[in-house]
Structure 1
Amino acid sequence: MGGDTPDPVDADFNYDYYLIRKGGLIFAGVLFLVGIAILFSKFCHPAHKRRPASTEK
């Protein structure tokens, strides 16, 4: 009745927490850099600064 033996169902799930943490930090860093790039890109100008369409006929 002791809990010393591992459950055979969970035997395949040995997580490498260092690798998961490292991958998560890299993913978060990439998303952060993409967000900063979007904020400072030329494609994110406010609508009032765009050149109005010509209405001449």
Structure 2
Amino acid sequence: MGGDTPDPVDADFNYDYYLIRKGGLIFAGVLFLVGIAILFSKKLNCGANRKAKPASTEK
């Protein structure tokens, strides 16, 4: 009496949970690597902000 047939309202919501989990883990990994890169970019100045040292006036 209706227990075996799926409800037509829920027919569009068949999620592939493996694909959603895999995509979420990849997204989280990319965000983690971007965060690490931002942290290290502030510590390593590879010539971007080098300023000439002022000449010393002491003898």
TM normalised by structure 1 equals 0.66
Unpaired segments ≥5 residues, structure 1: 44-50, 52-57
Q: Which amino acid aligns with 1:38?
A: I
Question: What letter is aligned with 2:10?
Answer: D
Q: Which residue of 1 aligns with 2:14?
A: 14
Task: Report % sequence identity.
Answer: 95
2:11 equivalent to 1:30: no
Q: Over aligned residues, Cα RMSD in angstroms?
A: 2.0
In our comparison, the structure showing a higher alpha carbon Rg is: 2
Write the distance in 2 (CA, Å) between the matches of 1:10 and 1:24: 24
Q: TM-score, structure 2 length as denominator?
A: 0.64
Shift in Å, 1:37 = 0.3
Aligned length: 44
Deviation at 1:5, TM superposition (A): 1.5
Displacement of 1:2 in angstroms is 4.6
